């Protein structure tokens, strides 16, 4: 690559699969139809906590068109889970732990027959005491939802760095506050779907909407008792995931069992209501924050205590509670820090990973409190953040190493472009402006296999095929991989085909989560592409009687540096290389994981968990109607340090999507739990998400410098932006009307109530 004049890197490249999606050509799982395919449906428990005593499905099986019924007893007590220490799900329960927890599934010739069969299944339950609030679930005598978990605590994390007590003692001002972040759904356009096929050879193949095909394969192997080598997982197009499609779910288990029973393909596609009820939602969390500062605004100590609702199963609770504490130490220099996080089982739908994965909730609390502290100190909130901002070369008190960081620049540029000093504090107009900052990992170091891999092959006509284990779920990673290959080999992106997400043909990859894809898979692809280039350069150097290091690949041509008029086309070179001797394969492979990370010490939690960290500052401008309580977002300015940008259009899309998702959580989205922990608004008619009319133009300012570890210097942008959107909006609302809402969402009713209090 010519670092001074890149052809593809840093450009605004439309997604290579964009036309397929826009035209309707793209095949999603639910679009697929196989010969003799059956339709499956799930039967959920009407009780939040109950043992299944008996299931009588004789009438259902006798219904014309019904081919099979399966229950939890067919699994023989086997379970699965994201973490080996928390394998607490079976997919079909013998003990239901929330309303809707699937206990049986049917397969029939069509959907109508399958639904009718569900009504004919008779289940005898032993109803058990239930608990729905995490604080109540921890009380003495509360019903245990899973054996072996004292006080229903499924995950507990604790950090204690520096001397927090001394930090508070030497602070000129100390403040304590409590905040609450609500349960929200992912709102992916495509509900989950799966098709399972079981062959006579014992091979199970499933097509499914997933972010992590290899994780699905592993968990299916655990619960079905089938060797992973006998399971193939294929990811078609995915209509959004946001973390919710990382894990194995009941539909995968049920469809597999039904296919094994019937020897016919079985499809299960969730309705929107089932998507919200039976999968994963963002964890509700109560956050207690105590911060001590000097009178000049420098943070001397901070303690954060989080209590999160896990719902009925563990999901990614261990990692979620770790992230909630870890990410507090990314954007600011805090030398004395203490964190305690508890995640508690309740008899409610399961919470799990969602964009930001545990970072969003405490970020809302901390950034809101920083504005409150700034007001008490009569200090500009932006200036307070600048005085504490992490700098390149810093190492956090917990061991995080920041090789690159442009947060200060992000703050300065964001407030400059937003007109901060002119607009701040003008409450007469009911308009306000607010700021918040954040940072995130570029893939967290986990245990076990964390590396990404890529295979590349060049065919005799010069076309390039890329096989990557990473999964494109709509974020555009296939396009990024194509850009990297096109840049290295000097070919047009249209000549690059990217295949991903098939456990039988693509390299092993942990999955699309933790903002790791561009960082990990991008580097793996870069290594593979450079191996291809090196092989072809050797041949070109021989043909042109030149030094290998002088061979240039650009504009579909291969030539000697300084003599672009004397060239061989890339296609001609590929054909010559392919035909040498008895013929050869032009292949390259790459595997990559950062070598500057370490798994955190199990006792102290000290360690550098990521190869790089992103940083962002966001400035929101709002207008609040004092008569109705309605909040209108006027402008949003994002200063982002994601390192060197690879695809400018993709980065802009991530920024706009983050703002849209963030304003939804800040102002309108809220899962309402009714009696027995049942979701009362499980459809998009009642659960309000932003539409195109709510979204605004977002100004994105690129402030990053190339990171020394990322591919071409790139870092993450998928999750880090979202975590500061909500507090920026909340801080802007306070600037507009002097109302500080500590419990999300900030609804018109809450604003009017607080305004009325102010009149008293």
Q: Looking at the predicted structure, is the pLDDT value of residue 449 above 90?
A: no
What is the structure's pLDDT at 578? Answer: 85
Task: Compute the C-alpha angle 478/322/244, nearest 5°.
Answer: 40
The pLDDT assigned to 580 comes to 82
Q: Based on DSSP, count helices (H) and strands (E) in the chain, helices before strands.
A: 19, 26
Contacts of residues 402-405 at CB distance under 8 Å and 24 or more positions apart, as own/partner, are 402/613, 403/596, 403/612, 403/707, 403/708, 403/709, 404/612, 404/641, 404/643, 404/704, 404/705, 404/706, 404/707, 404/708, 404/713, 404/715, 405/613, 405/615, 405/641
CA–CA dist 245, 236 (Å, integer): 13
Q: 572 — phi, psi (to 5°)?
A: -65, -40
Please state, as a whole number, how many other Cβ atoms lie within 10 Å of the Cβ of residue 541.
17
**Which H or E run contains 267?**
strand 266-269
In whole angstroms, give the CA distance from residue 539 to residue 223. Answer: 51
pLDDT in tens, 171-209: 999 999 999 999 999 999 999 999 999 999 999 999 999
Cα 112 from Cα 39, distance rounded (Å): 9
Contact assessment for residue 124 and residue 111, using Cβ atoms and an 8 Å cutoff:
no
445 falls in which pLDDT band (50, 70, 90)? confident
Instruction: Say which DSSP state 237 is in.
Output: B
Sequence length of the chain is: 760
Contact 614, 515 (CB under 8 A): yes
Which residues 6+ apart lie within 8 Å of 684 measured at CB?
187, 272
By C-alpha distance, which of 168, 166, 141 is closest to 152?
141
**Per-residue confidence band for 383, with pLDDT thresholds at 50, 70 and 90:** very high
Amino acid 4: pLDDT: 67
Burial class from Cβ neighbours inside 10 Å (0-12, 13-18, 19+) for residue 296 reads exposed
pLDDT surpassing 80 at residue 2: no
In sign, the C-alpha dihedral spanning 346, 352, 355, 356 is: positive
pTM of the prediction? 0.97
Residue 54's beta-bridge partner residues? 124
Question: Under a CB-based contact definition with an 8 Å cutoff, are residues 224 and 253 in contact?
Answer: yes
Work out the average pLDDT over 663-684.
96
pLDDT value at residue 3: 62
Do the strands 285-293 and 299-311 form a parallel or antiparallel pair, or are they unpaired? antiparallel
Give the chain's domains with CATH numbers.
18-26+446-592 (3.30.365.10), 32-128+189-240+245-278 (3.90.1170.50), 285-445+600-759 (3.30.365.10)
State how far the Cα of 181 lies from the Cα of 288, in Å rounded to an integer: 11
pLDDT for the residue numbered 448: 79
Provide the percentage of residues in the chain whose pLDDT is more than 70. 99
Q: Measuring CA to CA, which residue among 478, 400, 388 is closest to residue 442?
A: 400
Cis peptide before 745, with omega less than 30 degrees from 0? yes
Tell me whether strands 204-208 and 193-198 are parallel, antiparallel or unpaired: antiparallel
Rg (CA), the chain: 27
Q: What is the mean pLDDT of the chain?
A: 96
Q: How many CA atoms lie less than 13 Å away from 481 in the CB half-sphere?
A: 32
pLDDT band at 387 (very low <50, low <70, confident <90, very high): very high
Cα distance between residue 285 and residue 157, in whole Å: 15
- Kindly state the helix (H) or strand (E) to which residue 381 belongs, with its residue range: helix 381-388
Q: Does position 503 have pLDDT exceeding 70, yes or no?
A: yes
Q: How far apart are CA 423 and CA 727, in angstroms?
A: 18
Half-sphere exposure (Cβ direction) of 296: Cα atoms closer than 13 Å: 4
Label each residue of 105-170 as H, E or C: EEEECCHHHHHHHHHHCEEEEEECCCCCCHHHHCCCCCCCCCCCCHHHEEEEEEEEECCHHHHHHC
What gap in Å lies between CA 211 and CA 204, rounded to an integer? 19
List pLDDT tens digits, range 626-649.
Answer: 999 999 999 999 999 999 999 999
- Mean pLDDT over 507-531 rounds to 96
3-state secondary structure of 306: strand
Tell me the pLDDT tens digit for each residue of 573-610. 999 998 887 678 999 999 999 999 988 888 899 999 99
For 223-276, the pLDDT digits (tens) are: 999 999 999 999 999 999 999 999 999 999 999 999 999 999 999 999 999 999
Q: Pairing state of beta strands 266-269 and 38-44?
A: parallel
pLDDT at 29: 98
Question: What angle, 0 to 180 degrees and rounded to 10, lies between the N-to-C axes of helices 381-388 and 360-376?
Answer: 110
Distance CA 528, CA 111 (A): 46
> Could you say which DSSP state residue 9 is in?
T
Q: Which of 502, 508, 533, 503 is nearest to 520 (CA)?
A: 508
**Contact residues for 547 (Cβ-Cβ < 8 A; gap 6+):** 541
Look up residue 63 and give its two tokens: 């219904």
What is the torsion angle, in degrees rounded to the nearest 10, for the CA atoms of residue 532, residue 537, residue 538 and residue 544? 150
Burial class (CB in 10 A: 0-12, 13-18, 19+), 392: middle
Residue 1 has pLDDT above 80, yes or no: no
Fill in the DSSP letter of residue 84. Answer: G
pLDDT-based confidence at 287, cuts 50/70/90? very high
Average pLDDT (432-444) is: 97
Residue 760 has pLDDT above 80, yes or no: no
Assess whether pLDDT exceeds 80 at residue 120.
yes
- Which helix (DSSP H) or strand (DSSP E) does residue 373 occupy? helix 360-376
How would you class 5 by CB atoms within 10 Å of its CB: exposed for 0-12, middle for 13-18, buried for 19 or more?
A: exposed
């Amino acid at each position: 690559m010519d670092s001074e004049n890149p052809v593809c890197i840093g450009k605004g490249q439309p997604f290579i699969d964009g036309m397929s999606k826009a035209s309707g050509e793209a095949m999603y799982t639910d679009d697929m139809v196989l010969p003799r395919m059956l339709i499956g449906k799930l039967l959920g428990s009407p009780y939040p906590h109950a043992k299944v005593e008996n299931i009588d499905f004789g009438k259902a099986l006798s219904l014309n068109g019904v081919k099979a019924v399966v229950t939890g007893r067919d699994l023989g007590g086997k379970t699965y889970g994201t973490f080996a220490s928390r394998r607490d799900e079976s997919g079909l329960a013998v003990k239901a732990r929330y309303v809707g927890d699937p206990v049986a599934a049917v397969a029939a010739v069509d959907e109508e027959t399958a639904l009718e069969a569900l009504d004919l299944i008779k289940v005898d339950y032993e109803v058990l005491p239930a608990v729905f609030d995490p604080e109540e679930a921890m009380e003495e005598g509360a019903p245990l939802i899973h054996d072996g978990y004292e006080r229903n605590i499924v995950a507990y994390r604790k950090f204690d760095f520096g001397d927090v007590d001394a930090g508070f003692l030497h602070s000129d001002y100390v403040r304590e506050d409590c905040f609450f972040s609500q349960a929200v759904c992912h709102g992916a356009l495509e509900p989950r779907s799966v098709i399972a096929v079981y062959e006579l050879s014992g091979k199970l193949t499933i097509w499914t909407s997933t972010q992590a095909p290899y994780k699905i394969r592993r968990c299916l192997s655990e619960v079905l008792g089938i060797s992973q080598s006998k399971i193939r997982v294929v990811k078609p197009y995915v209509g959004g995931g946001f973390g919710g499609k990382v894990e194995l779910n009941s539909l995968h288990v049920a469809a597999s069992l039904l296919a094994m029973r019937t020897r016919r393909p079985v499809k299960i596609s969730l309705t929107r209501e089932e998507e919200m009820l039976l999968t994963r939602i963002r964890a509700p969390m109560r956050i207690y924050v105590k911060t001590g500062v000097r009178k000049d605004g420098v943070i001397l100590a901070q303690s954060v205590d989080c209590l999160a609702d896990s719902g009925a199963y563990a999901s990614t609770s261990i990692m979620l509670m770790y992230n909630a504490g870890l990410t507090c130490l990314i954007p600011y220099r805090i030398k004395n820090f203490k964190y305690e996080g508890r995640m508690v089982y309740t008899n409610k739908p399961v919470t799990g990973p969602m964009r930001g994965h545990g970072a969003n909730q405490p970020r809302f609390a901390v950034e809101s409190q920083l504005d409150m502290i700034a007001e008490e100190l009569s200090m500009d909130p932006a200036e307070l953040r600048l005085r504490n901002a992490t700098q390149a070369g810093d190492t956090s008190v917990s061991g995080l190493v920041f090789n690159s960081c442009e947060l200060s620049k992000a703050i300065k540029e964001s407030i400059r472009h937003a007109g901060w000093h002119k607009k701040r504090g003008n409450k007469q107009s009911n308009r306000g402006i607010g700021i918040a900052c954040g940072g995130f990992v570029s893939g967290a170091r986990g245990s076990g296999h964390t590396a990404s891999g890529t295979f590349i092959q060049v065919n005799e006509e010069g076309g390039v095929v890329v096989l990557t284990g990473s999964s494109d779920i709509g974020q555009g990673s296939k396009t990024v991989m194509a850009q990297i290959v096109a840049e290295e080999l000097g070919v047009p992106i249209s000549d690059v085909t990217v295949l991903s997400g098939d456990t039988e043909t693509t390299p092993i990859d942990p999955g699309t989560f933790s903002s790791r894809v561009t960082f990990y898979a991008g580097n793996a692809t870069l290594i593979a592409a450079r191996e291809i280039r090196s092989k072809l350069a050797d041949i070109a150097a021989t043909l042109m009687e030149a030094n290998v290091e002088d061979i240039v690949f650009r504009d579909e041509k291969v030539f000697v540096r300084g003599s672009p008029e004397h060239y061989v086309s890339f296609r001609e070179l590929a054909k010559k290389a392919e035909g040498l001797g008895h013929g050869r394969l032009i292949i390259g492979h790459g595997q990559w994981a950062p070598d500057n990370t370490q798994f955190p010490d199990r006792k102290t939690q000290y360690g550098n968990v990521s190869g790089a960290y992103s940083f962002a500052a966001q400035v929101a401008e709002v207008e609040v109607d004092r008569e109705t309580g309605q909040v209108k977002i006027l402008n949003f300015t994002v200063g982002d340090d994601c390192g060197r940008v690879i695809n400018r259009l993709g980065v802009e899309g991530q920024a706009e999507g983050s703002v849209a998702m963030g304003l939804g959580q800040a102002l309108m989205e809220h899962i309402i739990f009714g009696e027995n922990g049942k979701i009362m608004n499980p459809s998009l008619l009642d659960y309000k998400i932003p539409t195109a009319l709510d979204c605004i133009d977002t100004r994105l300012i690129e402030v990053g410098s190339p990171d020394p570890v990322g591919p071409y210097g790139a870092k993450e942008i998928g999750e880090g932006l979202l975590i500061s959107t909500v507090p920026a909006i909340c801080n802007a609302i306070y600037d507009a009307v002097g109302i500080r809402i500590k419990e999300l969402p900030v609804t018109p009713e809450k604003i009017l109530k607080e305004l009325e209090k102010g009149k008293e």
